[in-house]
Amino acid sequence: MLRKIKGFIENLKNIFMQLRWFAKLGVFLILALIVSLGGVLVSGTPGFCNSCHIMNPYYDNWKVSAHSEVNCLDCHLQPGLVGYVKGKVTGLAQAVDCGVGRVGTKPSATVMDISCLRSGCHSIEELSSEILDFNGVKFAHKIHVGKEVDGVHISCGTCHSHFKGDEHFRVNTQVCFTCHFLKADEKEKRLVQTDCLTCHQVPDQVIKRGIVWVYHA
């Protein structure tokens, strides 16, 4: 069997050597195209992302997340041909860095709003029509998405990010404090003018904190 394979390879080699230069160039280009397309397809799979060891924990919690049926590139690349090509070029550079050991211990990534709000994913109309109860806090997307606070544009990733734990996307509540409690340039004013009842309901029970009892009613 091995002898037959060697003989087949020798025959192909002899045929190739008998070709004219432009035919050899054509064969080379076809092979290069096949290899390139194979590389593009393979590098577009979540398993390829997981081949870099620093991505292992992110891959593991992606597998058990609500986005487990969504390909990594659908979120992490800008939709469209230009975004895809730019992402592939950047990914190639990252793969080279990973191969030569020029990578940090914690990767960073940005998911653009256009990826989150594309057709078939999250609907800005549905999000804007809802008032959510997030751990006892009233939250409305319509007064947050697309707004700007002190020169900072609020995007989906401003609040929804992977900052700790096993969840692929998690709401970073520290961001809430940044806007709602950070002082503005004007004395005694905050960046966002709200009061307690803007976000919270009045508790109907007594709350105990250490030796302190709080009656809101």
Q: Where are the domains of the chain?
A: 1-43, 49-109, 125-203
Average pLDDT, consecutive stretches of 10 residues, N- to C-terminus, the chain (217 residues): 71 72 80 81 84 84 87 88 85 77 73 88 87 84 83 85 72 80 66 76 82 81
How far apart, in whole angstroms, are the C-alpha atoms of residue 216 and residue 207? 8
Rounded alpha-carbon distances, angstroms, from residue 197 to 135, 179, 202, 208? 15, 16, 7, 20
pLDDT tens across 80-113, in order? 888 888 888 887 787 777 777 777 666 777 888 8
Q: What is the pLDDT, as a whole number, of residue 68?
A: 87
Q: What is the pLDDT, as a whole number, of residue 165?
A: 63
The answer to whether 190 and 198 have CB atoms below 8 angstroms apart is no
Q: Which residue has the tokens 């700790």?
A: 164
Question: How many residues would you count in the chain?
Answer: 217
**What's the DSSP call for residue 200?**
B
pTM across the whole model: 0.66
The answer to whether 182 and 176 have CB atoms below 8 angstroms apart is no
